[in-house]
């Protein structure tokens, strides 16, 4: 069975023959009648096969657009997940390479905004040092790049006894700074990537700059996802009073790596309103009700209650 939460209502669906079953028949029966914009949060299983990954993501974007979404969120590693360091570097591209060009054309053809949540971008000194950025790219409905955020917190973790050993910094350059939240058809979106989720300073900084939606496209390991994924996403939503959208990788990418899944959407009160489950590729459609967000911030004005910066640094 394929389980998602659609606008807060859980539905159970039987998959068709295709490994990427489009929910078209079901979605056509529940076309959005609300005036609120709709975001689509995607869950995929990337492999080292870039062409197969593009075909899979393209189908999800197309079905999301047909079902009323004005912005589609794809996860970290949407382009590929390599099986070793050498393959990861070899498959990387620049922003003007084939992959981003094809997604720009897709966005323009469908008139849909895209959040491409973790692109393997060759660094500025690629020829000299063979290192990459993990880049979150926003493409607008005209196919233009609206923003690029390069992941600031790199996943260098050794979890003894849990089978997790990754050192992202061995081939990835940390991004130099945050980027301003981007005005999109679904609201003002603040950009993070995966491990950034564990640093509340980032989410609060984006909220102070006007973010209404925080997005954390991810490829969480099974061990860390089981323990921390939902609670961290809900915490970021509650403390910032933002919608939080987290597209995710799911399942086995190759023999060395498996991802947790559960692409989630959380509302500003901390309620999970979309969940793609832990086994299959798919999409959750979420209404972004910014009036609800404003009401929560009005009734519990957390940001107004914050003290001056000196209060929080008084122990330093």
| 27 inside domain | yes
Cα–Cα distance list, 224 to 34, 221, 251, 261 (Å): 36, 5, 14, 11
Whether residue 66 lies inside any domain: the answer is yes
pLDDT tens, position by position, 163-221? 677 788 889 999 999 999 999 999 999 999 999 999 999 999 999 999 999 999 999 99
Active site residues per annotation: 76, 151, 194
Alpha carbon 235 to chain centroid distance? 16
Evaluate whether residue 75 is within a structural domain. yes
- Residue 102: strand, helix, or coil: helix
Phi/psi at 157 (5° precision): -140, 135
Report the C-alpha gap between 11 and 285 in whole angstroms.
Answer: 12
Q: 315 lies in a domain? A: no
Question: Could you tell me if residue 316 is inside a domain?
Answer: no
Question: Any idea what the CATH number is for the domain that residue 283 is in?
Answer: 3.60.110.10
Report whether 190 contacts 181 (CB < 8 A): yes
Q: Mean pLDDT in runs of 10 for the chain (316 residues)?
A: 43 38 44 78 98 98 97 98 94 98 98 97 93 97 98 86 77 96 98 97 97 97 95 98 98 93 98 96 97 97 94 93
Tally of helices (H runs) and strands (E runs) in the chain: 11, 18
- Residue 249 inside a domain? The answer is yes
User: Taking CA 238 as the corner, what is the angle to CA 232 and CA 241, rounded to the nearest 5 degrees?
Assistant: 130
How far apart CA 137 and CA 156 sit, in angstroms, is 23
Question: 228 phi and psi, to 5 degrees?
Answer: -130, -15
Pairing of strands 38-44, 282-287: antiparallel
Q: Tell me the two tokens of residue 185.
A: 């058809």
Contact 91, 77 (CB under 8 A): no
Q: Mind listing the pLDDT tens digit for each residue in 222-247?
A: 999 999 999 999 999 999 999 999 99
Number of domains forming the structure of the chain = 1
Task: With respect to residue 203, please indicate whether it lies within any of the assigned structural domains.
Answer: yes
pLDDT of residue 7: 52
Q: Which domain holds residue 204?
A: 2-304
Query: What is the structure's pLDDT at 12?
Result: 37
DSSP one-letter code for 263: -
Contact 267, 261 (CB under 8 A): no
Separation between Cα atoms, residue 208 and residue 153, nearest integer Å:
20
């Amino acid at each position: 069975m394929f389980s998602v939460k659609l606008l807060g209502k859980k539905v159970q669906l039987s998959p068709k023959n295709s490994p990427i079953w489009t929910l078209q028949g079901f979605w056509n029966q529940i076309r959005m009648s609300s005036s609120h914009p709709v975001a689509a949060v995607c869950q995929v299983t990337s492999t080292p096969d870039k062409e197969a990954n593009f075909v899979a993501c393209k189908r999800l974007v197309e079905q999301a657009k047909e079902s009323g979404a004005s912005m589609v969120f794809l996860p970290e590693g949407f382009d590929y997940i390599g099986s070793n360091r050498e393959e990861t570097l070899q498959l990387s591209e620049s922003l003007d390479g084939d992959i981003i060009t094809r997604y720009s054309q897709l966005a323009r053809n469908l008139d849909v905004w895209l959040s491409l949540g973790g692109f393997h971008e060759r660094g500025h000194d690629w020829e000299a040092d063979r290192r990459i950025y993990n880049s979150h790219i926003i493409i607008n409905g005209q196919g233009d790049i609206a923003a690029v955020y390069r992941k600031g917190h790199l996943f260098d973790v050794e979890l003894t006894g849990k089978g997790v050993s990754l050192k992202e910094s061995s081939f990835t350059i940390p991004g130099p700074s945050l980027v301003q939240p981007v005005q999109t058809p679904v609201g003002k979106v603040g950009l993070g990537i995966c491990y950034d989720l564990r640093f509340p300073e980032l989410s609060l900084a984006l909220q102070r700059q006007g973010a209404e939606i925080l997005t954390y496209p991810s490829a969480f390991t099974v061990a860390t996802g089981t323990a921390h994924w939902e609670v961290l996403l809900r915490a970021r939503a509650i403390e910032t009073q933002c919608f939080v959208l987290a597209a995710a990788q799911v399942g086995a990418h190759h023999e060395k790596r498996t991802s947790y899944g559960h692409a989630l959407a959380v509302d500003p009160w901390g309620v999970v309103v979309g969940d793609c489950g832990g086994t299959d590729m798919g999409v959750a459609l979420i209404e972004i009700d910014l009036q609800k967000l404003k009401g929560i911030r009005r009734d519990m004005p957390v940001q107004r209650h914050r003290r001056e910066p000196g209060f929080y640094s008084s122990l330093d």
